[in-house]
Amino acid sequence: MTTIVSTTPFPDQKPGTSGLRKKVAVFRTPHYVENFIQSIFDSLDGFAGKTLVVGGDGRFYNRETIQTVLRMAAANGFGRTIVGKGGILSTPAASNVIRQYGAFGGIILSASHNPGGPDGDFGIKYNTGNGGPAPEKITDAIFARSKTLTQYKTLTTADIDLDRIGATMLGPMSVEIIDPVADYSRLMQSLFDFDRIGAMIRSGFTMRFDAMSAVTGPYGHAIFEDLLGAPKGSVLNGVPLPDFGHHHPDPNLVHCRHLYDLAMGPRSPDFLAASDGDGDRNLIM
């Protein structure tokens, strides 16, 4: 059953092309997340019964916010949501899922290369049906709505199990938990010659890819090690952690100094790379 919750506007919910980014403490303010999500939904037309993609970079407060988004999506009339297992979807992978499944749009929870953890940053952004960030026309409408919002819609339900692949119902809405890596891996295989790259690796080409304890770890393990045959250990910091293992997931020569030192050392791999918190910024050496 839909619950209508009274609220008051927040004056600081102006999103940019990268969404709304604030400290975690701000997002944990009562009604803050709900107000912004409702402002997104109120700024869209024609999504009744349609599909919404939801995922994030695994940072602190990711899982809790996904549960909020799912309840509100159901209460506002979406017919289906697609969620990456564990709440994980890199930004490029989320874009692919939106387009591949013909979704109306997607909500991505990320603050990109900003630090994570309870004292770190958090972010929410809306991507349209073409997989790209919402244009200024939509972000302006979201901000305008956020300044006049007096209520939001949600459901009172138990949490969805984000770690079990499969479909379940949340009120009137279907929630489908998917492998966050599988569709993206297939996309990469359609774009690049995995046979030739794999043969190069088997012939002795060496590499290291640092996921910085952020979202691209599972993608790195699946693509570089499992599909292309790079030796285990080629992917560094490959488990997404809520605080990124105290790393600052910005792939530059300050925060990836260890890769630079490895590149300049006597046993340098042929190729070194790192990616940021949500997987759309890269360092390549």
Place of tokens 């988004």: 69
Which are the catalytic amino acids? 112
Q: Nearest 5°: phi and psi at 210?
A: -100, 115
pLDDT at 16 over 90: no
Half-sphere exposure of 208 (CA within 13 A, CB side): 17
How confident is residue 57, by pLDDT bands cut at 50, 70 and 90?
Answer: very high
Q: Residues 99, 209, 253, 240: is their CA dihedral positive or negative? A: positive
Q: Are 109 and 214 in contact (CB under 8 A)?
A: no
Sign, CA torsion 119/283/240/182: positive
Residue 277, pLDDT above cutoff 80: yes
* For the chain, percent of residues with pLDDT exceeding 70: 100
* 3-class secondary structure, 182: helix
Q: Give dist(CA 24, CA 90) in Å, integer.
A: 20
Predicted local distance difference test score (pLDDT) of residue 64 = 97
Please write the tens of the pLDDT for every residue from 184-236: 999 999 999 999 999 999 999 999 999 999 999 999 999 999 999 999 999 99
Collect contacts of 238-242 with beta carbons under 8 A, ≥24 apart.
Answer: 238/211, 239/213, 240/57, 240/58, 240/86, 240/88, 240/211, 240/213, 240/214, 240/215, 241/58, 241/116, 241/213, 241/214, 242/58, 242/59, 242/60, 242/62, 242/116, 242/117
Residue 20 in this model has a pLDDT that exceeds 90: yes
Instruction: Report the predicted TM-score, pTM, of the whole model to 2 decimal places.
Output: 0.94
- pLDDT cut 90: percent of the chain above it: 96
Residue with tokens 């997002």: 27
Task: Judge residue 135's burial from the number of C-beta atoms within 10 Å of its C-beta, 0-12 exposed, 13-18 middle, 19 or more buried.
Answer: exposed
Give the pLDDT mean for 84-104: 97
Say if CB 280 and CB 131 are below 8 A apart. no
Residue type, 206: T
Does residue 9 have a pLDDT over 80?
Answer: yes
Report the chain's mean pLDDT, rounded to a whole number. Answer: 96
What's residue 1's pLDDT? 80
Give which of 196, 202, 211 is closest to 251, Cα–Cα: 211
Q: Give the pLDDT confidence score for residue 66 in this predicted structure.
A: 98
pLDDT at 151 over 90: yes
Would you say residue 17 has pLDDT above 80?
no
Point out the least confidently predicted range of 15-24, 55-64, 126-135, 148-157: 15-24
Nearest 5°: the CA angle 63, 237, 118 is 40
CA 219 to CA 99: how far, in whole Å? 19
SS3 257: helix
